[in-house]
Structure 1
Amino acid sequence: MTNLAPLTWQDCVQPDWQVSSRVRALITTRNGGVSEGPYGRWQDGAALPGGMNLGLHTGDDPAHVATNRARLLALAGQSRAAWLEQVHGARIVRADEVIAAAPGTEAPVQADASVTDRAGAVCVVMVADCLPVLLCDGRGRAVGAAHA
Structure 2
Amino acid sequence: MRNAFAFMAPHWPAPKNVKALVTSRERGGSKPPFDYFNMAEHVGDNPANVAMAREDLQNFVGKNQPLLWLNQTHSTRVAESFTPNIEADAAVAFNSDYACVVMTADCLPVFFCSEEGDKVGVAHAGWRGLADGVLEATLDKLNIEPEKTLVWLGPAISSKHFEVGDEVRQRFVEQLPQSFDCFEPSPFRLNHYMADLYQLARLKLAERGVDQVYGGAFCTYAERKRFYSYRRDGQTGRMASIIWLAE
Q: With the length of structure 2 as denominator, give the TM-score of the two structures.
A: 0.47
* 3-state SS of paired residue (1:135): strand
Partner residue of 2:72?
A: 86
1:7 and 2:10 equivalent?
A: no
What is the RMSD computed on CA atoms of the aligned residues? 1.5
Native 8 Å contact 1:55 1:85 kept in 2? no
Q: Is the 8 A contact 1:81 1:121 kept in 2?
A: yes
Is the CA contact (8 Å cut-off) linking 2:30 and 2:37 kept in structure 1?
Answer: yes
Deviates more, 1:64-73 or 1:30-39: 30-39
Which of 104, 108, 112 is residue 89 of structure 2 equivalent to? 112
Q: What is the rounded CA distance, in whole Å, between the counterparts of 2:72 and 2:99 in structure 1?
A: 16
* 1:80-121 superposed Cα distances (whole Å, 9 cap, x missing partner): 210113211111112x422xxx4xxxxx22210000102141
Larger RCO of the pair (alpha carbons < 8 Å, separation 6+): 2
* TM-score, scaled to structure 1: 0.77
1:42-61 aligned within 5 A: 51-61=36-46
Say if 1:7 and 1:75, in contact at 8 Å, map to a contact too: no
- Matches for 1:25-104 after TM superposition, within 5 Å: 25-40=20-35, 51-78=36-63, 80-94=66-80, 96-98=81-83, 102=84
Between Structure 1 and Structure 2, which shows a larger proportion of helix residues?
Answer: 2
The residue aligned with 2:100 is 123
Aligned length: 124
Q: CA deviation at 1:78?
A: 3.4
Give 1:71 shift. 0.9
Percent of aligned pairs sharing the same letter: 38
User: What's the secondary structure of 1:144's corresponding residue?
Assistant: strand
Native 8 Å contact 2:3 2:57 kept in 1: no
The answer to whether the 8 A contact 2:92-2:121 is kept is: yes
4+ residue runs over 2 A deviation: 5-8
1:18 is matched with which residue: 13, 35, 55? 13
Structure with the greater alpha carbon radius of gyration? 2
Pick aligned residue for 1:132 from 109, 117, 126:
109
* Structure 2 runs not aligned, ≥5 long: 126-247
SS in 1 for 2:29: strand
Asked whether the 8 Å contact 2:73–2:89 carries over to 1, the reply is: yes
